[in-house]
Every structure is written in structure tokens, then in C-alpha cells.
């Protein structure tokens, strides 16, 4: 092994750099709330408030973006589990048949506002959009 891998502790021997996050996620099946604590191109660490689910989750969704990852559980430590990503899917487009229920759950996550309802909102009455072109003289 290389010089740097010999110096690094065993838990830090990663091929891809990890990024610390606090992204809100949901693990499926069961739509169990979790927090994605750190993430790399190949996997992530998921933290569950009530402890990890008894059954290993097979999909995790980054709830704000709708990015779904098919996962394999690699380790468990207390309320956290480490997962390896095997496949990725964007829930905003077409999804494979086994992710249809996950997409339906994600799409129903909040009430949609229609343009007419937004125009009547008190917060934006009198708002004028910026000019399309600005003349600089």
C-alpha cells in the first residue's frame, strides 16, 4: 500500500473523499426519516433518530432533491449505518417499476401551489419584476 494509506486510520481509508452533510433523507421501505451525515460518490453514513430499522433499507432518497439511491448496508454502529450505493435514479423523471411507490411518496410530500394562488398572496402584492434589459450609460 502507499505511504498515505499506511498513516491513515482504518476508518479513513476511502477511495473517494467524504463530504459532511446534514441532508434530510428517507429510507425505504417504510419511509423512515434519517439524516445523511456524510456522503461520497460510493456511499454514505445514515443516522436514524430512533435507531436503524430492523430490516435493512434498500433505497434512500435525498428528500429535498428527489435523488434516490439503491443501497447495500455495510456496517451498523448505534443509531448509524453505513451504506454503499449501487444505483442512482432521479425521481423527477421516469423511474424503474420498483421505485414507482417511492416516487409517489416523494411527489406527495407537500401541497403544490398554483400560479393563481401565488399571485393572490399578500407577500407579493405590488411586486414588479426587474427590467429585462438594463441600459448602462
- Nearest 5°: the CA angle 49, 26, 84 is 95
| C-alpha cell read off for 104 | 409517489
Correct CATH for 17-124 of 2.40.10, 1.10.3470, 1.20.1070, 3.40.50 = 2.40.10
Does 123 have pLDDT greater than 70? no
Give CA–CA dist 25/47, Å, rounded: 10
Question: What are the distances in angstroms from CA 69 to CA 26, 30, 57, 72?
Answer: 11, 15, 11, 10
| Percentage with pLDDT > 90 across the chain | 28
User: Which residues is 90 bridged to in the sheet?
Assistant: 67
Residue 8: the pLDDT is: 45
pTM (predicted TM-score): 0.68
| C-alpha cell read off for 51 | 435507531
Give CA–CA dist 62/109, Å, rounded: 12
Helices (runs of H) and strands (runs of E) counted in the chain: 3, 6
**Among the listed ranges 8-22, 64-78, 117-131, which one has the minimum average pLDDT value?**
117-131
What is the per-residue pLDDT across 28-54, written as a single tens digit (0 to 9) for each?
888 889 999 888 889 999 999 888 888
Confidence band, pLDDT 50/70/90 cuts, at residue 4: very low
Amino acid at each position: 500500500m502507499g505511504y498515505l494509506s499506511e498513516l491513515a486510520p482504518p476508518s479513513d481509508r476511502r477511495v473517494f473523499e467524504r463530504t459532511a452533510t446534514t441532508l434530510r433523507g428517507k429510507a425505504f421501505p417504510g419511509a423512515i426519516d434519517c439524516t445523511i451525515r456524510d456522503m461520497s460518490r460510493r456511499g454514505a453514513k445514515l443516522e436514524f433518530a430512533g435507531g436503524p430499522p430492523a430490516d435493512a433499507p434498500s433505497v434512500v432518497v435525498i428528500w429535498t432533491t428527489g435523488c434516490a439511491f439503491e443501497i447495500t448496508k455495510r456496517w451498523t454502529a448505534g443509531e448509524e449505518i453505513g451504506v454503499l450505493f449501487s444505483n442512482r435514479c432521479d425521481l423527477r423523471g421516469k423511474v424503474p417499476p420498483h421505485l414507482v411507490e417511492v416516487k409517489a411518496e416523494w411527489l406527495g410530500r407537500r401541497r403544490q401551489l398554483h400560479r393563481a394562488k401565488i399571485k393572490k398572496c399578500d407577500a407579493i402584492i405590488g411586486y414588479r419584476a426587474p427590467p429585462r434589459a438594463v441600459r448602462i450609460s
